Structure 1
Amino acid sequence: MVSVQESLTPLGKPYIDLIHNDSLDKQARVEHELTQSDIVLLLNSASIQSSPWVRWEIDTAEQLGIPVKRVDISGVAPTYKDMLSVIEG
């Protein structure tokens, strides 16, 4: 995950739940961060299809008009250029 964070840092201030969420009410923190976001980068993994929480995040982002961009990680952390390509694409 740190590699993903390093790839995103030049593009802005990323929030990665597994790294940054030290709140007592973790769900409220995710909701707050989401409402403050300009874009959501969804790292494709096997678990996102079955996660109701990920579905909620995607649905909420779409309702708020926040673009959701999927990033294929294929077992390898994406580079800065990969992230930029997804954002611009």
Structure 2
Amino acid sequence: METRVALIGIVVENADSVDKLNHILHQYGSYIIGRMGLPYAKRQVNIISIAVDAPADVISALSGKLGMLDGVSSKAIYAKLTEKDESGGANETTG
């Protein structure tokens, strides 16, 4: 199955949703490349970025489940990689 590289941006405004968020991320752990979390105390939010390599429907499902949590917003952005890129050829953005 073809996979996509994507970044899921997450903003957590409700700390009560963190356990559920971590549970969902654990369920999708095999697709996660890396994770970075930034607590922003001044605005009382946490900003999390998740890099994934997964089928598009899995990325969409993960982002959707996260966004349905109370006080959590999420958005996925996809890399413009082609099949040729994955085999070592030039990609669309660099020629």
TM-score (norm 2): 0.27
TM-score (norm 1): 0.28
- Structure ranking higher in helix proportion: 1
Structure showing greater radius of gyration is 2
Comparing both chains, which one has the higher relative contact order based on Cα–Cα distances under 8 Å and sequence gaps of 6 or more?
A: 2
